[in-house]
Structure 1
Amino acid sequence: MINWLLRPILALAGVIAAWMIATDSPNYGLVQAMITIILVVGLVGAAAFWPARWTEWLTGKTRQK
């Protein structure tokens, strides 16, 4: 199940890494891993710090107090 979450992130990291360096470069795996870590940290940070105010704005619904 975690494979479903990581495979798209790894694919995106592979595309981004391929823009920067050649895929047959010895450092390609390292660059891809660094980009994957940056993407995961960004996604976790966005999920952790998503303000409720943005959710209200996006859905058009207000919280009941």
Structure 2
Amino acid sequence: MGAYAMLEAFARISLALASFVTSLFVASDAPNFGIVNAFVAITLLAFGVAVLAFWSPVAEWTRSAWRNLSSRS
């Protein structure tokens, strides 16, 4: 599987997820569905990048918090 095919698969999956989320709030035949869908797709992409960027500090904070709660009991 080449890089182009992987990028295409990622784009299709992310747009399908964005379409599902958008359809929860906007009717599919509404004139602004495409604009809202693009906004939701960009927001989901930004959220995914933020989760990946801050995964290590959040995971470490969660582990230390869990250890502190466990040691109090």
TM-score when normalising by structure 2: 0.67
Which is greater in Rg? Answer: 2
Query: Going by fraction, where is helix more abundant, 1 or 2?
Result: 2
TM-score when normalising by structure 1: 0.74
Unaligned 5+ residue runs, structure 2? 1-5, 64-73
Stretches (4+) displaced over 4 A: none
Say how many residue pairs are matched.
Answer: 56
Query: Structure 1 residues 53, 10: closer, same or farther in 2, change over 3 A?
Result: closer
| Equivalence map 1:1-65=2 (5 Å) | 1-51=6-56, 54=59
Offset from partner CA, 1:14-64 (integer Å, 9 cap, x none):
011111111111100000000000100000111111116727x5xxxxxxx
Q: What is the CA distance between 1:5 and its match in structure 2?
A: 1.2
RMSD of aligned C-alpha atoms? 1.7
